[in-house]
Amino acid sequence: MAVGIFDSGLGGLTVLDAAQKRLSDVDFLYFADSAHAPYGVRDAEDIYQLTRKAVSDLWSRGCDLVILACNTASAAALRRMQEEGVPEGKRVLGVFVPLIEALTERQWGDNSPPREVAVKHVALFATPATVSSRAFQRELAFRAIGVDVEAQSCGGVVDAIEDGDMILAEALVRSHVDALKRKMPEPQAAILGCTHYPLMAETFQKALGPDVQVFSQGDLVAQSLADYLQRHPNMLGTGEGGFVTTGKPDFVSDRATQFLRRQIAFEAA
């Protein structure tokens, strides 16, 4: 039995790692569409088609539940996939919901009207595609009012992380934080709206300052998934856990091993 976790590349390993620590008795099948990464510079239609193909592959491998551990895919493809319908007994969920639950301090099942929340000024760091989709702002508006969201497109960060160039990634993060602060000098909270970015969480925090609360997704998604599986234990699926990629398995395995600091072996999708 396995739950599917999908990402355009390796960023979703931050979600996988947290989920494995939180749900040690659950198997996970991780799908990295490395041949087409990064998604953040693609148009919405391309992202949708690639995401749907990958999710369908995970469904065919026996994963009844698939988590889009990719903010770009969640922003550009999730709503359309759900509206067009998924196979009976299958589910696909995104990663925005746990973030918004944490930010607004209200459960997603709380369908009362939007209300004011404590945090008024929020910085959103994300890929160009996620920023242009405005999906985070749209979902947040269902739950909260009076929140000013300033989005900063963080071009190049994902590429640098995927290439293993953390010095470049750190320099780019500092540059993007500086650009955000010119637009919003005093954010109260910051959303790391890409699953690659938790790998740079310390750099974001140092650049933003100690008074800014930084929300990243790994632990939040893991807790939300644990709650979901407790309510829907039938969604554990019939597939086997493991790692598959559309890229070169040996190369992706080496990068993943560096990410998680434990041996990871990908197979060809």
| Catalytic residue from among 19, 37, 70, 147 | 70
Q: How far apart are CA 74 and CA 68, in angstroms?
A: 6
Catalytic (active site) residue 70:
yes
- Kindly give, in sequence order, each residue whose CB lies less than 8 Å from that of residue 210, ignoring residues fewer than 6 positions away: none
| Catalytic residue from among 81, 95, 102, 194 | 194
Give the CA dihedral 139, 83, 234, 72, nearest 10 degrees: -50
Among candidate residues 253, 264, 245, the one with its CA nearest the CA of residue 32: 245
Q: How far apart are CA 130 and CA 133, in angstroms?
A: 5
Supply φ then ψ for residue 22, to 5 degrees: -80, -35
Cβ neighbourhood burial of 1 (10 Å; 0-12, 13-18, 19+) = middle
Catalytic (active site) residue 194:
yes
Whether 33 contacts 9, CB under 8 Å: yes
Query: Strand 189-192 relative to strand 121-126: parallel, antiparallel, unpaired?
Result: parallel
Phi-psi region of 210 (alpha: psi -120 to 50; beta: other; left: phi over 0): alpha
- Which residues sit opposite 130 in a β-bridge? none
Among candidate residues 89, 86, 91, the one with its CA nearest the CA of residue 65: 91
Catalytic residues: 70, 194
